[in-house]
Amino acid sequence: MNLKVVYYPADEFMANSIKDLLEQNGIPAVIHSFQIPAYNGIAMMMRPNWGEILVGEPDMGKARELVDGFLAAGNNG
Protein backbone atom coordinates (compact mmCIF):
# COMPACT_ATOMS: atom_id res chain seq x y z
CA MET A 1 0.00 0.00 0.00
CA ASN A 2 1.25 3.47 -0.89
CA LEU A 3 1.29 5.80 2.10
CA LYS A 4 0.84 9.54 1.65
CA VAL A 5 1.39 12.40 4.09
CA VAL A 6 -1.89 13.93 5.20
CA TYR A 7 -0.52 16.26 7.90
CA TYR A 8 2.71 17.52 9.49
CA PRO A 9 2.01 17.97 13.23
CA ALA A 10 3.90 20.50 15.33
CA ASP A 11 4.13 18.16 18.34
CA GLU A 12 3.38 14.66 19.61
CA PHE A 13 0.03 15.68 21.15
CA MET A 14 -1.28 16.94 17.80
CA ALA A 15 0.08 13.84 16.03
CA ASN A 16 -1.83 11.54 18.37
CA SER A 17 -4.98 13.68 18.17
CA ILE A 18 -5.03 13.56 14.36
CA LYS A 19 -4.23 9.82 14.30
CA ASP A 20 -7.09 9.12 16.73
CA LEU A 21 -9.49 11.25 14.66
CA LEU A 22 -8.64 9.35 11.50
CA GLU A 23 -8.86 5.91 13.11
CA GLN A 24 -12.22 6.75 14.76
CA ASN A 25 -13.47 7.43 11.24
CA GLY A 26 -12.21 4.13 9.84
CA ILE A 27 -8.97 5.39 8.31
CA PRO A 28 -5.81 3.54 9.39
CA ALA A 29 -3.04 6.05 10.08
CA VAL A 30 0.66 5.90 10.94
CA ILE A 31 2.70 8.43 12.89
CA HIS A 32 6.26 8.93 11.67
CA SER A 33 8.24 11.01 14.15
CA PHE A 34 11.28 12.96 13.02
CA GLN A 35 12.53 13.20 16.61
CA ILE A 36 15.66 11.50 17.93
CA PRO A 37 14.98 10.70 21.63
CA ALA A 38 18.61 10.73 22.74
CA TYR A 39 19.15 14.22 21.31
CA ASN A 40 16.17 15.96 22.97
CA GLY A 41 14.85 18.33 20.31
CA ILE A 42 17.87 18.63 18.02
CA ALA A 43 15.82 17.20 15.13
CA MET A 44 13.53 20.25 15.37
CA MET A 45 16.45 22.41 14.25
CA MET A 46 16.76 20.39 11.05
CA ARG A 47 13.02 20.04 10.36
CA PRO A 48 10.34 22.52 11.41
CA ASN A 49 7.77 19.78 12.11
CA TRP A 50 7.61 17.13 14.82
CA GLY A 51 6.79 14.42 12.30
CA GLU A 52 4.15 13.36 9.79
CA ILE A 53 0.84 11.50 9.69
CA LEU A 54 0.53 8.98 6.87
CA VAL A 55 -2.55 7.32 5.39
CA GLY A 56 -3.15 4.95 2.51
CA GLU A 57 -3.50 6.61 -0.87
CA PRO A 58 -7.14 5.47 -1.32
CA ASP A 59 -8.07 7.17 2.00
CA MET A 60 -6.28 10.44 1.26
CA GLY A 61 -9.33 12.48 0.19
CA LYS A 62 -11.47 11.57 3.20
CA ALA A 63 -8.49 11.93 5.55
CA ARG A 64 -7.65 15.42 4.28
CA GLU A 65 -11.31 16.45 4.68
CA LEU A 66 -11.36 15.21 8.30
CA VAL A 67 -8.05 16.89 9.17
CA ASP A 68 -9.08 20.18 7.57
CA GLY A 69 -12.38 20.12 9.47
CA PHE A 70 -10.62 19.36 12.75
CA LEU A 71 -8.13 22.19 12.27
CA ALA A 72 -10.84 24.66 11.22
CA ALA A 73 -12.91 23.81 14.31
CA GLY A 74 -9.87 24.50 16.50
CA ASN A 75 -9.34 27.91 14.93
CA ASN A 76 -12.96 28.95 15.49
CA GLY A 77 -13.16 28.27 19.18
Domain ranges in the chain? Answer: 3-76
pLDDT of residue 2: 95
| CATH class label, 3-76 | alpha beta
The candidate with the shortest Cα–Cα distance to 14, out of 1, 29, 36, is 29
Compute the 3-state secondary structure of the chain and give helix, strand, coil in percent, each to the nearest 5.
Answer: 55, 20, 25
In whole angstroms, how far apart are CA 28 and each of 14, 21, 31, 41?
Answer: 16, 10, 10, 28
Distance, CA of 4 to CA of 52 (rounded, Å): 10
Q: Confidence band (pLDDT; 50, 70, 90) for 66?
A: very high
Model pTM score: 0.83
Judge contact between 52 and 8, C-beta under 8 A: yes
